[in-house]
Structure 1
Amino acid sequence: MTQPPKQRVEARRNGRSFRSAINACMMSALLGSTVLAFCSPASAQQTVLPDNSQLRGPIQENAPPPAQNNRNTRPTDSQTTQDQTSSPTNNFGIPSRPYEPVSPGALPADDDSSNLGRLGVPANDGSPPSGPSDNSGGLNPPPSVEETVVPVPVERVPTPAPRPGVTDAATADADTNADRDPATLYETGAIEQSQEGNPPERRTDKDNMPVSAIERRTPRLDPEPFAPLGIRAGTVTLRPSISQGLRATTNADNSSDGKSAVLSETRLRARATTDWSRHSAWMDFDGTYDKTISGEEYSAPNIGLRAGFQLDLGARTTVTGEAGYRYRQEDPSAPTTIQGTSNRPGVQELDGSLGVRHEFGKFFGDLKGKVNRTTYGNAEIGNTTISQKDRDNTFASIALRGGFEMSPAIKPFAEVEIGKLIYDEKTDFSGYRRSGLRTALRGGVEIDFGEKMSGEFALGYLRQGIDDDRLQAVEGLSADAAIKWSPQRGTDVDIGLLTRVEGATTPGESGSVYYEGTVGIKRQVRANLDLNAKLIASLRDNKDDTGLDKGFGAEIGATYWFNRFVGLDVSARHQLVRSDVDSRNTDETSIYVGVTLQR
């Protein structure tokens, strides 16, 4: 029969001799051989307790002794017999070091001197060994259940305190100890937690913290916080506005003998634009109505409507078109006005144009056709009504322009125009045939510096022939311009030049050439404060030997916006005309205060 391996017993630290340890090992081996000789295999597989109860498997050695408040109190004989019988496998391997509490002095010092035999081995007198037991097994694992023997109890060496992080053997045998009587389990108090080896649970930082966006959208300030928002319908945006105010003037009808008055002035404006990706269209409406509140009786409507479009047919071909309508009252200081009338006859003007432009490399060509229709209302002298149908006329012309691209911003050109002025009546009331052929030759330059400056300027010569040989042709210098200039951001300057031919109603007179130049300045001082000024100069070259009629006008105003929709308008103007004919001299000064509503 194979004997179990001999156990190594660690010498106690109390200084006893090594010979005592050798004697203990020899006695244990001799006693174990004797017991194995008389034990049957069945008894090794199953241990029967005194109360005829059986245990399944070996009893773990580390089960604590019965709970006692006093460690020096000895158990009863029944308890000693039960402990010795139920612990057959707790003496193999190298015993562990004695248990040492974390806090010194928590348990009284062990003193087993009274329980030792002659050879230094604890006497087997039924007293329990001191200190907690351990079944770690040392270097040699415990034998299986079938090979379990009941060896002679040996010295119980106290085990050291478990290292932090290592699972205690008692925890591993919790399921086995759960079948035993809770009253027989060893009760232990709370053990102080190791701050270094087993630190207390702490709150960990979140690992899914929000991260700011890589690209942040910074809000941009509105450059025009008081500009109208408009009314959008599909791809068309309409921006209407209406102004209502009072105008105090020194010359209500702007005549040579006009009187002062206080007028109610109403002005309605609207602009519609499109945002098409390729083509474009626009429309402007401007209507003003003045009505006397006090002073000289006066009523004068003035309405203007214009619309245009541009079609891009390919990369180098463009088609443009414009149409307009205007209703006004005839100027009492104009030479064409019938003298002595008690009213101001209405004048209606309707015009339209269509042009096509094509570029040939650095060169370009522009062909444009134009039609103008002018009609005059009846004049009243006292109770007599005088018809002016003999003044109604239609003018149609065609103009051809060609030029080259000196640079993308400057394009010089030359233009020739041929047209025909046709009166509805072949002869007027005086018997003169005033229809005739019109020719013009101009040269100029087109400017396109983007938002800085754009437009065109042209100078030339204009001649309006008359079919009646008794009347001489009306001719003279031609000057036309339309330029938009922005010297700095927030400042806009509009420059315009106009040349037109005026007919005559007086027998034997051919007519005149009228020139007008305007300069308008608008300055945005603040986001809600606009300043504006306008200068007007006019010159009429009369062909009836009456000299020149010179006119001048100036206007200054300001608009303060309370918000996007409501603004306060204040303006003042002065205009005058000087002529060798007394009936053509005028002088007028006025002040206006009103409110503007816009959308």
Structure 2
Amino acid sequence: MTQRQVRVPRATVSSLPPAPPPPPPPQRRRPAADLDPYAPLGLRLGNVVLRPALTSSLGYDSNPERAASSARKGSPFSRTEGELEIQSDWNVHELRGRLRGGYSEFFRNRDASRPDGEGTLDLRLDASRDTRILLETRTRLDTQRPGSPDLTAAVTGRPLVYQYGASAGVTHDINRLQLTLRGSVDRSDYEDGKLSNGGIVSQADRNQTQYGLRLRAAYEVTPGFRPFVQGEVDTREFDEAVDSSGYRRSSDGVTGRVGSTFEISRQLTGEISAGYQNRKYDDGRLRNLRGLIGDAAILWSPTPLTTVTLRGTSELGDTTVAGSSGTTARRVSLEIAHALRRNLIVTGLASFGRTDYDGQSLREDATSFGARIEYRLTRTFSVRASFTHERLNSTSQGSDYTANIAQVGLRVQF
């Protein structure tokens, strides 16, 4: 073999090492429905989850019209109640809401049959990392009891009260400081009462519109402690300048309060606030209504099976009682829920409320307590039973009453 035929072998260039496999996708937090085998899964509509529910019950009410003990007339009843929860699943922005409506029909006392309902729908628009636009709508449907001090005559049935409103605001974060400015409009309409002789008691003088503007400044001391200070001005305008007693009820109010949201641990969270409100009326005969106001909502979970919820409120309200500027209402409620098993929950409830009518020796104390049990058969079906005792003590002659309500029903949820 000649030298020309000898070839030096070429050095081979090895290929690049294979790319490492991609990291596994992050584990998404399991939804509550997966953690609780009896929680509803909901119905997905695009990126929005709907959780509808329907409850049908039968029961007995010893005093459907909340009349004085000597005039009460018990009746069996049926109740149908529908609910809808709305929750978005968007990367930015958020939509959430809850709607509830029900109707109670009393077989022996048709006049006591009544609807009720409430709902809220909130939309948060993330304009930037630090700025958010807040939009809210709300509505409530309720009825008045025949013996209410604001009803100027003994009516039959329960006149309806429609309340609805909307708010729009913006919140902006400056490091740990958060500023929120919100404007609101709320409307209240009262149905006329019907007399036993076919006459009508007009309540048009109670219809009103309220306009409010609120500014809140909150500072995050720690992730679980955010104190705040808040100021609010509002105007209440009645449709009729003068009410049935000859008073001009429109008013202007100024409110200031301080408080804090807190999360001491995962077992204890809530919000507490207290403040002072002063309300001036167009009618010089009505003295300014002023006093302490406040709100409290505390959630405590001492064990994974037990939840304790404490709520309290103090507020100033309107009235048409002659010579009274308004009402001071204070309420507190306690609810204790315990899961005997994952699908068997027992709940105890108690509440107390006191309403004082300014300028009059009129006071009402309302007390209620009861118990509820829920047995979840599947994610979709559950059986509920409850008992409630209600009592009202009033300084107004003939307004006291007691009532016992028992019912059992089937709930269907998706």
TM range (shorter): 0.7 to 0.9
Q: Which of 335, 350, 361 is the matching residue for 2:164?
A: 350
Within 5 Å, give how 1:16-165 maps onto structure 2.
none
Which segment is superposed worse, 253-262 or 408-417?
253-262
Q: Which of 223, 244, 252 is the matching residue for 2:35?
A: 223
Whether the 8 Å CA contact 1:260–1:296 is kept in 2: the answer is no
Which segment is superposed worse, 292-301 or 533-542?
292-301
Alignment partner of 1:534 is 2:349: yes
Q: Distance in 2 between matches of 1:519 and 1:322?
A: 28
Please give the per-residue CA displacement for 1:186-228, whole angstroms capped at 9, x wherever unaligned.
xxxxxxxxxxxxxxxxxxxxxxxxxxxxxxx9xx994311111
Q: Distance in 1 between matches of 2:88 and 2:267?
A: 23
Alpha-carbon distance change, 421 to 584 in structure 1, aligned in 2, over 3 angstroms? same
Letter in 2 for 1:570: A
Whether the 8 Å CA contact 1:336–1:503 is kept in 2: the answer is no
Q: Which has the larger radius of gyration?
A: 1
Counterpart in 2 of 1:504? 319
Q: Quick check: which one's strand share is greater?
A: 2
Whether the 8 Å CA contact 1:250–1:259 is kept in 2: the answer is yes
SS of equivalent to 1:227: coil
Q: Distance in 1 between matches of 2:287 and 2:114?
A: 35
SS of equivalent to 1:469: coil
Within 5 Å, give how 1:257-296 maps onto structure 2.
257-294=71-108
Please give the per-residue CA displacement for 1:423-455, whole angstroms capped at 9, x wherever unaligned.
111112333211111111111112246853444
Q: Quick check: which one's helix share is greater?
A: 1
Q: Distance in 2 between matches of 1:263 and 1:293?
A: 6
Q: Distance in 2 between matches of 1:511 and 1:262?
A: 36
Q: Distance in 1 between matches of 2:362 and 2:108?
A: 37
Query: How many residue pairs end up in the alignment?
Result: 381
Counterpart in 2 of 1:407? 222
**Which of the pair has the greater relative contact order for Cα pairs under 8 Å at 6+ separation?**
2
Q: Which of 58, 61, 66 is the matching residue for 1:246?
A: 58
Within 5 Å, give how 1:469-488 maps onto structure 2.
469-488=284-303
SS of equivalent to 1:545: coil
Whether the 8 Å CA contact 1:394–1:422 is kept in 2: the answer is yes
Letter in 2 for 1:526: R
Within 5 Å, give how 1:344-383 maps onto structure 2.
344-381=158-195, 382-383=197-198
Alpha-carbon distance change, 286 to 377 in structure 1, aligned in 2, over 3 angstroms? same
Whether the 8 Å CA contact 2:146–2:155 is kept in 1: the answer is no
Q: Distance in 2 between matches of 1:529 and 1:265?
A: 22
Counterpart in 2 of 1:48? none
Which segment is superposed worse, 324-333 or 267-276?
324-333
Q: CA deviation at 1:372?
A: 1.2
Alpha-carbon distance change, 354 to 486 in structure 1, aligned in 2, over 3 angstroms? farther
Alpha-carbon distance change, 394 to 406 in structure 1, aligned in 2, over 3 angstroms? same
Counterpart in 2 of 1:305? 119
Q: CA deviation at 1:338?
A: 2.6
TM-score by length of 1: 0.60
Letter in 2 for 1:301: P
Counterpart in 2 of 1:546? 361
Q: RMSD over aligned Cα, in angstroms?
A: 2.2
Whether the 8 Å CA contact 1:552–1:576 is kept in 2: the answer is yes
Q: CA deviation at 1:280?
A: 1.3
Alpha-carbon distance change, 544 to 265 in structure 1, aligned in 2, over 3 angstroms? same
Counterpart in 2 of 1:204? none
Q: CA deviation at 1:523?
A: 2.6
Whether the 8 Å CA contact 1:333–1:586 is kept in 2: the answer is no
Alpha-carbon distance change, 494 to 278 in structure 1, aligned in 2, over 3 angstroms? farther
Counterpart in 1 of 2:16? none
**Gaps spanning 5+ residues in structure 2: where?**
1-26
Please give the per-residue CA displacement for 1:378-423, whole angstroms capped at 9, x wherever unaligned.
1122221122111110111111122322212111111111111111
Counterpart in 2 of 1:183? none
Alpha-carbon distance change, 314 to 454 in structure 1, aligned in 2, over 3 angstroms? farther
Counterpart in 2 of 1:106? none
Which segment is superposed worse, 311-320 or 424-433?
311-320
Q: Distance in 2 between matches of 1:496 and 1:504?
A: 24
Alpha-carbon distance change, 501 to 289 in structure 1, aligned in 2, over 3 angstroms? same
Instruction: Quote the sequence identity (%).
Output: 27
Q: Distance in 2 between matches of 1:520 and 1:369?
A: 33
Q: Distance in 2 between matches of 1:424 and 1:295?
A: 34
Whether the 8 Å CA contact 1:261–1:296 is kept in 2: the answer is no
Counterpart in 2 of 1:523? 338
Whether the 8 Å CA contact 2:146–2:154 is kept in 1: the answer is no
Alignment partner of 1:320 is 2:134: yes
Counterpart in 1 of 2:154? 340
Letter in 2 for 1:244: S
Q: Distance in 2 between matches of 1:548 and 1:432?
A: 21
Q: CA deviation at 1:264?
A: 0.8
Q: CA deviation at 1:283?
A: 1.7
Alpha-carbon distance change, 419 to 386 in structure 1, aligned in 2, over 3 angstroms? same
Q: Distance in 1 between matches of 2:330 and 2:305?
A: 30
Please give the per-residue CA displacement for 1:318-343, whole angstroms capped at 9, x wherever unaligned.
33232111111113343212331123
Letter in 1 for 2:125: L
Letter in 2 for 1:446: T
